[in-house]
Amino acid sequence: MQKKSILKMAVLAGALLFSGSVLAWNEGGGEQDAAEHLTPNKENGIEVYEVCSACHMMEGWGTTDGTFPQLAGQHRSVLIKQLADIRALNRDNPTMYPFALPSEIGGVQSIMDVTDYISKLPMNPENGRGAGNNLALGKKLYKTNCVRCHGENGEGMPDKYYPLIQGQHYKYLLRQFEWIRDGKRRNANPEMVKQINSFSDDDMKAVVDYVSRISPPKEKLAPVGWTNPDFD
């Protein structure tokens, strides 16, 4: 047990050193800051999103097996940060990186356009969920550890770049939680890394399962079977 803890600390320390200081996780600058001050162009957003839809689907719902996350309805500020981080190689995503390059989707204006478009898409009413066999523990862990940043209902905080996690696919959440806990996601908030560092695998599965069952408000959800009319 002690050896495992030492290894985990070493991995975390290495990840933080590689990404700069602990406080540097969201200092902004570069394309992130530039994009946030632009006015979105919906038509260009639709055109750019067509590139993204190859993985995230036309509706922005990703896949319930967690290979690709649901993006629809996510805070625009969060989407801007993550896309800018991937383009700047602050977040490792070798699958997405080639498609996120300026040569593929355009410059800073396209970041604003596509993220604004995605943020306004209605969300999947049938996201992927966990087994549901330890929800009491999951709820307890969520209320104790996650509410301060992600909110009572997983709504996040756009002004602080804390993502909306309600309605996200269980398997995607599980993978990201594990990477953050184990220091493998370089642009993770170090406060979250510290908060969940002691979670066991069972704790992790329980809290993520609970989160996957937090439904977004009805006004954010698409009807069952909805298809994106922008790509008819």
Q: What is the pLDDT of residues 172-206, one digit of tens each?
A: 999 999 999 999 999 999 999 999 999 999 999 99
Q: Is residue 121 part of a domain?
A: yes
Residue 92 pLDDT > 50, yes or no? yes
In a domain, 79, yes or no: yes
Q: Total domain count for the chain?
A: 1
In angstroms, rounded to a whole number, what is the distance separating the alpha carbons of residues 25 and 193? Answer: 12
Q: Is the pLDDT of residue 34 over 60?
A: yes
Q: 5: burial class by Cβ within 10 Å (0-12, 13-18, 19+)?
A: exposed
Helix (H, G, I), strand (E, B) or coil at 157: strand
Residue 177: other Cβ atoms inside 10 A:
22
Instruction: Flag whether 231 is in a domain.
Output: no
Q: How confident is the model at residue 24 (pLDDT cuts 50, 70, 90)?
A: low
pLDDT tops 60 at residue 9: no
Which DSSP category does 228 fall into?
Answer: -
Report d(CA 99, CA 44) in Å as an integer.
Answer: 16
pLDDT tens digits for range 97-155: 999 999 999 999 999 999 999 999 999 999 999 999 999 999 999 999 999 999 999 99
Domain span holding position 186: 2-226
Task: State the distance between the two ends of the chain, measured CA to CA, in whole angstroms.
Answer: 55
